[in-house]
Amino acid sequence: MNTTTLCPLGADSALASTRFLLGVDGGGTGTRVRLSDLQGQCLGQGEAGPSALGQGAEQAWRHIQQAAQQAALNAGLPALDWSQMAVGLGMSGSSVTHLVEAFMAQQPGCALLALDSDGFTTVLGAHGGQAGAVVAAGTGSIGEALRRDGSRACISGWGWICGDEGSGAWLGLKAMRHAQQAMDGRAVVGTLARAVWAVAGHDREAVLAWCAQAGQAGYASLAPVVFEHRGGDGMAAALVQEAVIELERLAMALDPAGDLPLALCGSVALRLAPDFSGTIAGRCVSPQGDSADGALHLVRSALQRLRT
């Protein structure tokens, strides 16, 4: 989606009321926020549980507020007055209109909100607001780019149930499928299957119960198990290699000409980076910042538009 800006107080009132900026990175596993003054000086940071919009607007705002309060305490502020906050948000699930509407309806009275996808704020953070591409793989996966002409591209990010190839949740689903087949006798029992059973249970009933409640974050929690056993288990090694291939395909589809600097972001992408081919590795640059930095860039840009 394009950036959504909400000014509950009107443009002039929003500009007059804003005293602090808050950048929010809201994902399926956790929420990270960064609090700054109007000049961009970082004052404090905070973390809380997941705030992906698909997990519910009430949970999202609860965790954003918890993380924001932690950042305020780190900054020496006793409490946050949301009417003085201009908030930039990079949120998983922001492309689904009804989820955005539910989220906006519960906002706590902020002076200004600027909302976009966590993929796009990752691009803004990684490249300092300039043109560039990002392959981000953590709990989920997505490729986003800001082209030199100002247009945007988005690849993957279809969600953990049927997409997000190369992500932590995708690896976890693959590992669980293998463990189930090994339990049935349809696959060889190796260290990966045994490690998954150690987490989910050693019988059918326990595994089914674990899968019923796991959700995106639960499956993503199995990704480290895959990496841990890649050296001694053929299936774990194959899954890691498959993840590399999927993320390389994503990068090529995102920027076929290789015109843009490419940043790898997220725990899974960074862990897989040494396995990338020279073609992709040669295009990679170190990120200048993260999604929370990009969210701050997003809201600063929204404020600038209001001033002009």
**10 against 264, higher pLDDT:** 264
* Residue-wise pLDDT tens digits, 84-101: 999 999 998 888 899 999
Domain ranges of the chain: 4-128+288-307, 168-281
Structure token digits, residue 132: 């560039």
* Residue-wise pLDDT tens digits, 102-133: 999 999 999 999 999 888 999 999 999 999 99
CA–CA gap between residue 212 and residue 216 (Å, rounded): 11
Read off the pTM.
0.79
Alpha-carbon distance values, 256 to 153, 156, 248, 259, 262 (Å): 12, 15, 11, 8, 12
CA–CA gap between residue 303 and residue 308 (Å, rounded): 9
Instruction: Output DSSP code: residue 292.
Output: H
12-16, 79-83, 166-170, 214-218: least confidently modelled range: 12-16
| Identity of the residue numbered 170 | W
Instruction: Output DSSP code: residue 273.
Output: G
Beta strands in the chain (DSSP E): 4-6, 20-26, 31-36, 42-48, 85-91, 112-117, 132-137, 141-146, 152-156, 262-265
CA–CA gap between residue 306 and residue 7 (Å, rounded): 10
The pLDDT confidence band at residue 5, using thresholds 50, 70 and 90, is low
Q: What is the pLDDT of residue 201?
A: 96
- Computed over every residue of the chain, the mean pLDDT equals 92
CA–CA gap between residue 120 and residue 230 (Å, rounded): 32
* Residue-wise pLDDT tens digits, 256-269: 988 899 999 889 99
Q: What is the pLDDT of residue 4?
A: 64
* Paired residues of 85 in beta bridges: 20
- Assigned CATH class of 4-128+288-307: alpha beta
Q: What is the pLDDT of residue 1?
A: 47
- Assigned CATH class of 168-281: alpha beta
**155 against 240, higher pLDDT:** 240
* Residue-wise pLDDT tens digits, 266-289: 899 999 999 998 889 889 999 999
Chain length of the chain: 308
CA–CA gap between residue 70 and residue 68 (Å, rounded): 5
Comparing C-alpha atoms, which of 94, 45, 97 is closest to residue 71?
45
* Residue-wise pLDDT tens digits, 180-204: 999 999 999 999 999 999 999 999 9
